[in-house]
Amino acid sequence: MTLGPYRAIGLRFTVDCDHEPTAAVTARVFAGLVDPAPCGEPDVAFTMVQDPPGVWQVLADGAPVSELLAAAAVIHHVLMEVNLRLVDASMGRWSLLHAAGVARGGRVVALPAPTHSGKSTLVAWLAHHDWEYVTDETVAVAPGTLEVTAYRKPVAVRQGAQAVLAGVIPEVTAADEAYFDWEHLVLPPSSGTCIPGRLAMMAFPRFDPDQPGVVAAPLRPAEALVRLAHNCHEFERMGAPAFRRLEAIARSVPAFELTYSDLRAATGRLHDLLEDQP
């Protein structure tokens, strides 16, 4: 069974899987990546192979790209390969910020932060509280126009965050337990918008359990540039051209450090900050 075609920013791909339950889960969590206007052959065709039962391997264009895997890792591995390959497929056409992203009224807020910083938890909460989901991994910004291309991959919610988001995200069903025993892949609701709009604001999130309330500290362009350089997928490979693009973003887009301990309070503060932007 061939799933797709899908698009992850500049990467077009399909996924083959002959195991019907696994294919059904994969199709559900990848639904936000369905290419609305497929054209030509995919850049890569992934295959999830099970042999013997319960032992999986991921292939890309027929070549193995994983060790032997349990069911709990196979869909995650395909998603990891997509995340890696989209950088090569998209580099140069967009600035690729390692950031979560949400939108309201055609204006996008990027939430740049390192891995394991809590940005996926924050964006999952926002996407279920009246914000349009853009991505939890890569905000793709077009040079000059600052238009953002959505990368609506499933949000990866780790076990610790699942308790925080209880009642907000769907619970892991009995049918899904074999695939999500340590990290739940959740596709937030969407209006179906493919191009969410223009980058209007950046908020660098920092969770601090001892922080009373929410603090939004404005960042100067130079401070924002340094932080962007640490959260840019192509910076090390592209060097000066990537730096110049990041500099243009830092000079054009207001930036804040958002320190919070409560997701509901952070949501309200982000709304107010965005409303204050021209």
Q: What is the pLDDT along the chain (278 residues), one digit of tens a residue?
A: 999 999 999 999 999 999 999 999 999 999 999 998 888 899 999 999 999 999 999 999 999 999 999 999 999 999 999 999 999 999 889 999 999 999 999 999 999 998 878 889 999 999 999 899 999 999 999 999 999 999 999 998 887 788 888 888 888 787 788 898 778 898 887 755 456 799 999 999 999 989 888 999 999 999 999 999 999 988 777 778 888 999 999 999 999 999 999 999 999 999 999 999 98
Q: What is the DSSP string of 105-125?
A: TTEEEEEE--TTSSHHHHHHH
DSSP 3-state of 76:
helix
Tokens (6 digits) for 102:
């949400």
Dihedral-angle region of residue 105 (phi above 0 means left; psi in -120 to 50 means alpha; beta otherwise): left
Phi, psi of 81 (to 5 degrees): -65, -40
Residue 277 near residue 201 (C-beta atoms within 8 A):
yes
Q: What does the domain layout of the chain look like in residue ranges?
A: 2-90, 95-152+187-275
pTM greater than the 0.95 cutoff: no
Tokens (6 digits) for 44:
């890569």
Pairing of strands 147-149, 183-186: unpaired
Q: Which residues contact 258 (CB under 8 A, 6 or more apart)?
A: 111, 203, 204, 205, 206, 214, 215, 216, 266, 269, 270
Query: Cα(77)–Cα(80) distance, rounded to whole angstroms?
Result: 5
Which CATH code for domain 95-152+187-275? 3.90.228.20
